[in-house]
Structure formats: structure tokens, C-alpha cells
Structure 1
């Protein structure tokens, strides 16, 4: 009988029902993201582990973004996710995602507090549009919706050390700030403004989603935040150097891709924030190659 990376060739990843795995992978595929392709560099058990983590994040994010329900309904549905995650740690499962995620939690020793932090981050969005949070709230939001996901991810990648958590802390913030800087106009159209109120005040930019995209000094606000993101990228790379090199391959790939997006955004500036920065496919492939072999 053949073997695939330590498993018999006919054994399903994580020892889960193939139908359950297919359903979880289907959530990833339906999202339209390139995430699934990026995770192909992982061995099957870790790849499907990440699919399960992503599916969880996707589903709770969908609740937070559901514009048909009111804030009270969205928050109630997210509180139910807290109960659902607690049930997994107590050994209770109801559907395919529960069954796969329960195995992933045990296999990679994922912490309940990190799942709860992600849900709480989505609750911040679900309770009503975030508009010009103070610096402390801005950092808490970045930690919950990005760094907490990182803390789950690095364990699935294969490193549960304190340095891996440090990677998650810095890389999560770097990625989230990059997303915020790229999506200012899109967020504003939905009544959201994630830029910190103290920075807006410093540059005399109105804390108003309807006016921020045309504010004369918006570029200054964004360049300060871009500098913070670059600092977080550098700190994340330093921490990666003290981690398991193989385990950090996906983190290096994500870091390199988002650092390139940030650089492109800085080059373009924020005079016309509705022009969303993106990378060409050849550019993405070159970045990936350099990240994976460098």
C-alpha cells in the first residue's frame, strides 16, 4: 500500500468523512477567494485544517455582513456561534463543519479563546457600522479579526510556539491595516470608516464615511497607517526567522503578497481611493516563488 506524507494513500485527510471534507472545501470554493489555491502548499491534513478554519471565519463574517437582518439579529446569531464553538470543545457536533473542525481543534490544539476573539471581532461590525474608532478600539479590532485568525492558523501550519504567536500578532495587524487602506472607498459606501479618529483629527480629515474619500489630507492619514503596517511586516518577518521554517511557508507567502499590495497602494497614494489596487497574476506568481524559496 502506498503512503502520502505519513498517511496511507486511501486514508482521508484528518481521518474525516470525505463527504464532510468536501462540504467544508465547498465553503472555501464558494467564497471566490484565492485562499484555497494558496493552501495547496500544505500537506493534506494541514490544508483541510485551514479549510475548516477559513470556513468558520467565512460563515461568521457572512453573519456580520448580512445587511438584511438588523443589528440585534446579527449579534444574536454570532452569540450562537460562541455556543457552537463551546459545544465543539465539549465534544458536541451537528454538521459537517462541526465534525471536521472538532477534529482540527484536537489535532492542532487550537484554543477556544482565539475562536471567541474572531466572533467578538465580527460582533463589532455586526452591532453597527464602525466609524472612526479610537486607537485602542482600532487595535482591538485588528487583533480580533486578523491576529486571532493568525493564532489559529500558525498552529495548523505546524508551529505553536510563542514566536509563532508573535508572527500572528504582527502579521495579522499588517494584513488588516493593508486591507483597510485598500478598501476605504468600498467601506465608506457601506457607512464604515475604520481609520482611527485620532489620526483623522491630526490631519483635519472628517470622521464621516460620506466625506472621507474626498478629504484633502486623507493621503497623510493613510501614509501614517501604511508606515505602521510596514513596521508590523518587519516584526513578523523577524519572528518568522525564529520559528519552524517549513511551518512558516504560508505565512511568508501571505506576508509577501500583502506587502506588495501595500507598496503598490503607497505608490498610487490615496488621492483617488476608489481605484482599488490589485496585483497581476504574473506578479503574484513571482512573489509566491520568491517567498517560498527565499
Structure 2
């Protein structure tokens, strides 16, 4: 495990038992994501705080993605609402609870941001999202991405209004990028996150399978990519008003996803089943530029 074992004269990370820290880190490791590596730039308390936030997001997302019935998934998400409420009341029942509660207290995380993430997962849990209207599309992006950002910037070390603006814009930029990259994969799962109004504008039926084959998907992709670029620029402007050190992880995520979006634009949307990715050397170069630039 990557946590630092405290010497006798050092306080433990987040005041937590190493076994509890290992529990949240294991959720990150099992996910197979590169998230854990990216958070290594943070000092231990903030790193494990982010592991705890990630563990929460991963576990509620797993509920939404489960193959079970909608009623059962919504019931399990309600259990998560109750679980978060207990943490704010000072009750923790397992290792993940204890690290998450320590993170909430140490960094002043807001209850409503956790609730918003659960609300976003419930949108998926109640049935596949298919061609939401523009207002619902924006609400979904706020709940599943920007709300996570509002939790994250506080753990990073900035709770200012400008940091919330970073979360607002960067969350939307990242989520739109994911949606544009995953059109074909989402369609295979019966999902379609592209806004209904854009599909209608380009005469695309609001059906997952139809979108993948639509010749005018290219135009829809270009318009949404433009929106994502606007959000990336607004996020960068907000970061300039924030604590520079605290924004290092946000700059790293923004630079990585902006590169993914650029790669998607170069490929276009004629073959959406070909999912774009970045090479490891490219990721390293992006990280270096983001962290020292």
C-alpha cells in the first residue's frame, strides 16, 4: 500500500488507522484507474482524502451500473444517502466510513455535494438515460462531474468561490469529453447522453443504435466539443484566481482531458466505435507541462 506509516512522533494520516486507509486505497486499486497515480502529487492527508472521495464515487457508481432492477438500485442509493447523513451526524461503521468522515471534517466537505452525486447516479439507476433535453443534460453533468469537483477542490486545498467555478466548468468539460468519447460504448449499453435538441437539429433519431450510424453525428460532436472547449477556458480563468498549489491536480486533469478531446476531434465521429486514447509518453509530457507550466 502507498500510505505513509507514521513514526512515533508523527500524527497518523487524517488521524486514521492504517487498516482503514488501506480499505479506501484498495477501492482505488481494484478500479484499475490511473486516478491513484495522479493523486500521488498530493501530500498524504489530501491524497487519502481524495482516495476516500473516489471510493464513495466508485461505490455509488457501481450501484448505478449494476445489472439489477431499477427499484433495487434506487433502494441501495437511498442507503447511501442515509450512510452519508450518518457520517455528518458523527457515526461511522467501517473503515471507509471512518476515512470519509475524517476527510469531511478535515476539509469541510459539504453534505449537499455528496447528495448531488447520488442524485446523478439515480438518474442512471432509474433506467438508461436516452437523449435528455438540454436542461437535463446540464443537470446530469453537474451532478456526476461538477459535484465531484466541488468535493475535490476542497480536498486539494481551496474552498473559495473561484474554486467552485473551477469545479463547475472543469466538471462539465470532463463529462462532455467522456460522453463524446464513449458514444458507441454507451449505445451498446442502451444509453444516449447527447442532448435531444442537437439530435433533432441534425435529423438523428433519439435512439442509441441510430446515433452510432448517423452521418450527421460529426456535426453534433463538433458542437459539443466546442462547448467543452469553452468550459476548459472558463475553468482555466477561474484557476488563475485560486491557490496555485491547490490547483495542481485540477490543471493535470484539465490538460489530460483537453488532449483527449483534441484527439477525438482529429479522429472525428465517423467511426465512434474506435475509442481514442493517449499514449503513456504523451500522458507523461502532458503531466509535466501541467505541473510546471
Tell me the TM-score range normalised by the shorter chain.
Answer: over 0.9
How many residues are matched?
289
Work out whether 1:255 is the aligned partner of 2:265: no
Superposed displacement of residue 223, structure 1: 0.6
Q: Deviations over 1:35-62 (max 9, x none)?
A: 0000000000000000000000000000
Work out whether 1:276 is the aligned partner of 2:275: yes
Q: Give the structure 1 partner of residue 83 of structure 2.
A: 84
Q: Give the structure 2 partner of residue 29 of structure 1.
A: 29
Q: Give the structure 2 partner of residue 11 of structure 1.
A: 11
Q: Give the structure 2 partner of residue 70 of structure 1.
A: 69
SS at match of 2:178: helix
Q: Summarize the alignment of residues 132-147 of structure 1 with structure 2, pairs less than 5 Å apart.
A: 132-147=131-146
**TM-score (structure 1 length as normaliser):** 0.97
Q: Summarize the alignment of residues 127-166 of structure 1 with structure 2, pairs less than 5 Å apart.
A: 127-166=126-165
Following TM superposition, where does structure 1 have runs of at least 4 consecutive aligned residues deviating by more than 6 angstroms? none
Superposed displacement of residue 250, structure 1: 0.0
Q: Deviations over 1:207-266 (max 9, x none)?
A: 101111010100100110000000000000000000000000000000000000000000
Work out whether 1:100 is the aligned partner of 2:99: yes
Give the Cα separation in 2 of the matches to 1:222 and 1:268. 11
Superposed displacement of residue 11, structure 1: 3.3
Superposed displacement of residue 12, structure 1: 2.3
Superposed displacement of residue 133, structure 1: 0.1
**TM-score (structure 2 length as normaliser):** 0.97
Superposed displacement of residue 10, structure 1: 4.5
Q: Deviations over 1:262-284 (max 9, x none)?
A: 00000000000000000000000
Give the Cα separation in 1 of the matches to 2:129 and 2:144. 13
Give the Cα separation in 1 of the matches to 2:105 and 2:238. 26
Superposed displacement of residue 15, structure 1: 1.1
Work out whether 1:208 is the aligned partner of 2:207: yes
Q: Give the structure 1 partner of residue 61 of structure 2.
A: 61
Give the Cα separation in 2 of the matches to 1:202 and 1:31. 38
Q: Give the structure 1 partner of residue 125 of structure 2.
A: 126
Q: 1:200–1:50: structure 2 CA closer, same or farther, 3 Å change rule?
A: same
Q: Give the structure 1 partner of residue 266 of structure 2.
A: 267
Q: 1:110–1:8: structure 2 CA closer, same or farther, 3 Å change rule?
A: farther
Q: CA RMSD in A?
A: 1.3
Long gaps (5+) in structure 2: none
SS at match of 2:213: coil
Q: Give the structure 2 partner of residue 49 of structure 1.
A: 49
Give the Cα separation in 2 of the matches to 1:10 and 1:105. 21
SS at match of 1:244: coil
Q: Summarize the alignment of residues 183-194 of structure 1 with structure 2, pairs less than 5 Å apart.
A: 183-194=182-193
Superposed displacement of residue 9, structure 1: 6.6
Give the Cα separation in 2 of the matches to 1:23 and 1:154. 23
Q: Give the structure 1 partner of residue 39 of structure 2.
A: 39
